[in-house]
Chain A
Amino acid sequence: MGSMKFTTGILKEETNMSNITNQAPVRTSKFSLPNIFRNSRNEEIPLHPFRVIVEKEISDQVRSWRFIILIAIIVLTTLGSLYTSLNSLSEAIKVSHVNNSFLFLKLFTVSNGTLPSFFVFITFLGPLLGIGMGFDAINSEHNRGTMSHILAQPIHRDYLLNAKFIAALTVITFMFFALGFLVMGLGLISIGIPPTPEEFWRIIFFIILSIVYVAFWLNLSILFSVKFRQPATSALTVIAIWLFFTVFYPIIVNLISKSVIPGQMATSYQMYFAEELKVNLMRIVPNQLFSDATTTLLVPTVRSLGPLTMQQVYGTIPGALPLGQSLLLVWPQVTALIAGTILCFVISYVMFMRREIRSR
């Protein structure tokens, strides 16, 4: 249904597009073939159909019931977590005298146990949002037979895949900024203490990190939507991967590390290496990368993410890290998430471009 709308939208644009796109092949014929790409970048006119597809995709996403349900769930949980964090904020201030300077960040991290805090919700629901938006991106077009219609238009083939990704990413970006500012605004109204510039930038980086995290799951689901013809198969596969990483993988890592730790007679070095092995194994999981990075950004007193030796701890003074140092600390995690996102995109791109598409 959505895809049908999409094709009609494209066809409506045909009248003004045909003038433009008809010129493009004429022009490209003047140049040798490898220059086509550069040519299309230098002249902004051929980008126009891409924007059209992106805008159409965004309106499709926003109007779909699936997205409305997902966003309703996320907004409700956000408000719930905000409520619990506001309730337990006064206790959190009493408990930790040292970190009182980062009161505003506690809105995102503090919980009294009845509901998880905001960033835990994002860790949990972010993948679902990404999967929900991407698992039928390509194969539904195939199944409805609209793919050949779209590709019959005078546009580049990869526009479709790129537009699907960009549209979903745009929606996620707007949504997460809206959520983040919603929490900030409501928190500002209820506690009345404005965030310091550093706190503000930490929250902004946290939102960007959440977007990157969801973008990873989005790309993974797009990959499977390219791979599998049936949307149900791709959805189940991605959810299986997500469940594996959130539920089963930690159990497996625990089993491995337990077998590695030689018991109570172990020396401290053996304990250290076993702990480090466990942490490194956990770092394969995107959830772990995300929660590591958010913890560091939202709790400035976190100084290290791995196990520490006494040599490293001796002589330290408890205190908050400056923002630059926190960012440097989480940079490997961010790099891994971005690289994973791009890797998924590259694989799905290659698969999509090499596929033969026939009309049914």
Chain B
Amino acid sequence: MKDFYKLIQLKSISVFFASLLGIMFISTSAFATNNVYLFTPYTTISVPPGKSINYIITVVNNTSEVQNLGVSISGMPWGWKYNMKSGGWDIKKIAVLPKQKEIINLHVEVPLKINKGTYHFNVVAGANHLPLSVIVSKRGTYKTTFTATQANMEGHNNSTFSFNANLDNLTADQQLYSLRSEAPLGWDVTFMSHYKNVTSVSVDPNNDAPITVKVTPPDGITAGTYKIPVSAVTNNTSADLQLEVVITGTYDMVLSTPTGLVSTEITAGKQRRLELIVRNTGSAILYDVQPGYQAPANWKVTFDPKSISEIQPGQYAKIFATIKSDKNAIAGDYITKITTKTPEVASSVSFRVSVQTPLLWGWVGVLIILFAFGLVYYLFRKYGRR
């Protein structure tokens, strides 16, 4: 009984050894004889997560017979996607003519959600193995990024700022992003994708979409730096982008009247008081606004107050101008130009001043005529009725 057992044991060991010998023989014959082998130049590649790798694998047949080999991948890590093509076809087996070679394209996608490390797999063609290694250079992320190449822009208060941003979907699913901005009140932020205004954008996994963010500042904004936070949000991922707009100071001023009426009447030699409004339409504070005038000869314009120390952007100041006309001005229309200026900017308004001649001489004429009629009346009394 014991002998029998021993025999079986011996037999199994010998079978084991025999099979082991056989394997060794086959593999050594594969390398040693170089009848059929696989070749690719880049056997170890270092990539970031989410990249895809294209291997070009050459199958060489050194034998004098046609080799029809089944090709497959073994040991591919879990979650990695791959396909194998040759001549544009997905292949399972490949036949190679004697003393010829064929090319297989292997496309491997490294997933995004992956740990750092070295991953191995084998390409198997018949009895031939080609071990390949992929080193994942960093830990993979599973998120969205929203970036702008130039997140800071400078301009005037009346210019529009266009930021070129890029929305990267680094997740495994297609995402529909809603685009939002938390700009301060009065700012106008619009998103453009493919030259169209959009409020949401759909991005395929591991893909990106170029987004143009247009920022229009409100009217009458003061000079300064403004932060415009924008974000792309879905229900499970989101990305923020902080844009920065620097408004440079512009100096602009408009001089007008409260009603917009720029004509007035004046009696020659008399004066008229006009209310003027100086409006700061720029984005910087105007300091030391000085009024001036350009009037016909011997006309005088005085201002109350004589100057304005400062006007805030978007604000206005009142100024009273008193026009005094020349005593010898002739009846009809004259032009009087009133100017306000600061060291930076000037504004002017032209008044059409209708001069009226004083009624004094008219009354003198009436008196002369009345005197003449009085004389007639006196003569009637003296001579007429006797």
Please report A residues at the B interface, Cβ cutoff 8 Å: 34, 36-37, 40, 156-158, 303-304, 308-312, 314-319, 321-322, 324-325, 328-329, 331-332, 334-335, 338-339, 342-343, 345-346, 349-350, 353-354
Chain B residues near A346: list those with CB within 8 A: 372, 375-376, 379
Q: Please report the C-alpha to C-alpha distance between residue A310 and residue B328 in the assembled complex, in whole angstroms.
A: 12
Q: Check A315 against B330 for contact (C-beta < 8 Å).
A: no
Contact flag A349-B383 (CB < 8 Å), given A316-B296, A332-B361, A335-B365: yes
Chain A residues near B328: list those with CB within 8 A: 309, 311-312
Stretch in contact with the other chain, from B39-47, B134-142, B215-223, B331-339: B331-339
Chain A residues near B380: list those with CB within 8 A: 37, 158
Contact flag A156-B331 (CB < 8 Å), given A338-B369, A343-B372, A346-B375: no
Contact flag A317-B333 (CB < 8 Å), given A311-B326, A346-B375, A353-B384: yes
Q: How far is the CB of A24 from chain B (nearest CB, A)?
A: 11
Contact flag A325-B295 (CB < 8 Å), given A316-B332, A331-B361, A349-B383: no
Interface pairs A-B: 9 shortest CB-CB? A315-B296, A335-B365, A311-B297, A353-B383, A342-B372, A317-B333, A303-B332, A325-B331, A304-B330
Q: How far is the CB of A334 from chain B (nearest CB, A)?
A: 7
Q: A316-B296, A321-B332, A329-B357 known; 10 other A-B pairs, CB under 8 Å?
A: A317-B332, A321-B331, A334-B365, A342-B372, A342-B375, A346-B372, A349-B376, A349-B383, A350-B379, A353-B379
Other-chain contact of A331, B298, B333, B362 (Cβ < 8 Å): B362
Q: Which of B346-386 contact A (CB under 8 A)?
A: 352, 354, 356-357, 359, 361-362, 365-366, 368-369, 372-373, 375-376, 379-381, 383-386
Q: Check A339 against B369 for contact (C-beta < 8 Å).
A: yes
Other-chain contact of B383, A158, A304, A308, A324 (Cβ < 8 Å): A158
Chain B residues near A319: list those with CB within 8 A: 332-333
18 contacting pairs across A/B (C-beta < 8 A)? A37-B380, A308-B330, A312-B296, A314-B297, A315-B297, A315-B299, A316-B332, A317-B333, A318-B333, A325-B357, A328-B356, A332-B365, A335-B365, A338-B369, A338-B372, A342-B375, A345-B376, A350-B379
Q: How far is the CB of A324 from chain B (nearest CB, A)?
A: 8
Map CB proximity to A onto B296-337 as digits: 1 under 8 Å, 0 otherwise: 111100000000000000000000000000101111111110
Number of interface residues of B (CB under 8 A): 37
Q: Check B381 against A37 for contact (C-beta < 8 Å).
A: yes
Chain B residues near A345: list those with CB within 8 A: 376
Other-chain contact of B373, A310, A342, A354 (Cβ < 8 Å): A342
Chain A residues near B381: list those with CB within 8 A: 34, 37
Q: Check B372 against A315 for contact (C-beta < 8 Å).
A: no
Smallest CB gap from A159: residue in B: B384
Chain B residues near A331: list those with CB within 8 A: 361-362, 365
Q: Check B326 against A312 for contact (C-beta < 8 Å).
A: yes
Other-chain contact of A312, B330, B356, B373 (Cβ < 8 Å): B330
Q: Please report the C-alpha to C-alpha distance between residue A325 and residue B299 in the assembled complex, in whole angstroms.
A: 20
Q: Please report the C-alpha to C-alpha distance between residue A324 and residue B267 in the assembled complex, in whole angstroms.
A: 13
Q: Check B372 against A339 for contact (C-beta < 8 Å).
A: yes
Q: Please report the C-alpha to C-alpha distance between residue A328 and residue B363 in the assembled complex, in whole angstroms.
A: 10
Chain A residues near B299: list those with CB within 8 A: 315
Q: Check A37 against B385 for contact (C-beta < 8 Å).
A: yes
Q: Please report the C-alpha to C-alpha distance between residue A315 and residue B331 in the assembled complex, in whole angstroms.
A: 12
Q: How far is the CB of A267 from chain B (nearest CB, A)?
A: 18
Q: Please report the C-alpha to C-alpha distance between residue A94 and residue B329 in the assembled complex, in whole angstroms.
A: 31
Q: Please report the C-alpha to C-alpha distance between residue A277 and residue B331 in the assembled complex, in whole angstroms.
A: 22
Other-chain contact of B336, A157, A315, A339, A349 (Cβ < 8 Å): A315
Q: Which of B208-237 contact A (CB under 8 A)?
A: none
Q: How far is the CB of A295 from chain B (nearest CB, A)?
A: 14
Chain A residues near B352: list those with CB within 8 A: 317
Smallest CB gap from B352: residue in A: A317
Q: Please report the C-alpha to C-alpha distance between residue A324 and residue B265 in the assembled complex, in whole angstroms.
A: 13
Chain A residues near B362: list those with CB within 8 A: 328, 331
Q: Please report the C-alpha to C-alpha distance between residue A334 and residue B333 in the assembled complex, in whole angstroms.
A: 24
Q: Check A303 against B330 for contact (C-beta < 8 Å).
A: yes
Chain B residues near A339: list those with CB within 8 A: 368-369, 372
Q: How far is the CB of B351 from chain A (nearest CB, A)?
A: 11
Q: Check B329 against A312 for contact (C-beta < 8 Å).
A: yes
Smallest CB gap from A310: residue in B: B297
Q: Check B296 against A311 for contact (C-beta < 8 Å).
A: yes
Q: Please report the C-alpha to C-alpha distance between residue A35 and residue B384 in the assembled complex, in whole angstroms.
A: 12
Chain A residues near B326: list those with CB within 8 A: 311-312
Smallest CB gap from B329: residue in A: A312
Q: Please report the C-alpha to C-alpha distance between residue A180 and residue B135 in the assembled complex, in whole angstroms.
A: 113
Chain A residues near B295: list those with CB within 8 A: 315
Chain A residues near B336: list those with CB within 8 A: 315
Chain B residues near A40: list those with CB within 8 A: 385
Other-chain contact of A316, B330, B359, B366 (Cβ < 8 Å): B330
Chain A residues near B368: list those with CB within 8 A: 335, 339
Q: Please report the C-alpha to C-alpha distance between residue A174 and residue B351 in the assembled complex, in whole angstroms.
A: 46
Q: How far is the CB of A21 from chain B (nearest CB, A)?
A: 13
Chain B residues near A303: list those with CB within 8 A: 330-332
Smallest CB gap from A345: residue in B: B376
Q: Please report the C-alpha to C-alpha distance between residue A253 and residue B332 in the assembled complex, in whole angstroms.
A: 30
Q: How far is the CB of A46 from chain B (nearest CB, A)?
A: 10
Smallest CB gap from B384: residue in A: A158
Q: Check A335 against B332 for contact (C-beta < 8 Å).
A: no
Q: Check B332 against A156 for contact (C-beta < 8 Å).
A: no
Q: Please report the C-alpha to C-alpha distance between residue A338 and residue B369 in the assembled complex, in whole angstroms.
A: 7
Q: Please report the C-alpha to C-alpha distance between residue A204 and residue B238 in the assembled complex, in whole angstroms.
A: 86
Q: How far is the CB of A289 from chain B (nearest CB, A)?
A: 12
Q: Please report the C-alpha to C-alpha distance between residue A314 and residue B336 in the assembled complex, in whole angstroms.
A: 10
Other-chain contact of B356, A308, A310, A325 (Cβ < 8 Å): A325
Contact flag A37-B329 (CB < 8 Å), given A316-B334, A331-B365: no
Chain B residues near A158: list those with CB within 8 A: 380, 383-384
Chain B residues near A317: list those with CB within 8 A: 332-335, 352
Q: Please report the C-alpha to C-alpha distance between residue A331 and residue B362 in the assembled complex, in whole angstroms.
A: 6
Q: Please report the C-alpha to C-alpha distance between residue A59 and residue B331 in the assembled complex, in whole angstroms.
A: 45
Q: Please report the C-alpha to C-alpha distance between residue A158 and residue B334 in the assembled complex, in whole angstroms.
A: 53
Q: Check A328 against B298 for contact (C-beta < 8 Å).
A: no
Q: Check B376 against A36 for contact (C-beta < 8 Å).
A: no
Q: How far is the CB of A284 from chain B (nearest CB, A)?
A: 16
Smallest CB gap from A325: residue in B: B331
Q: How far is the CB of A226 from chain B (nearest CB, A)?
A: 13
Q: Check A156 against B385 for contact (C-beta < 8 Å).
A: yes
Q: How far is the CB of B337 from chain A (nearest CB, A)?
A: 9
Q: Please report the C-alpha to C-alpha distance between residue A303 and residue B369 in the assembled complex, in whole angstroms.
A: 24
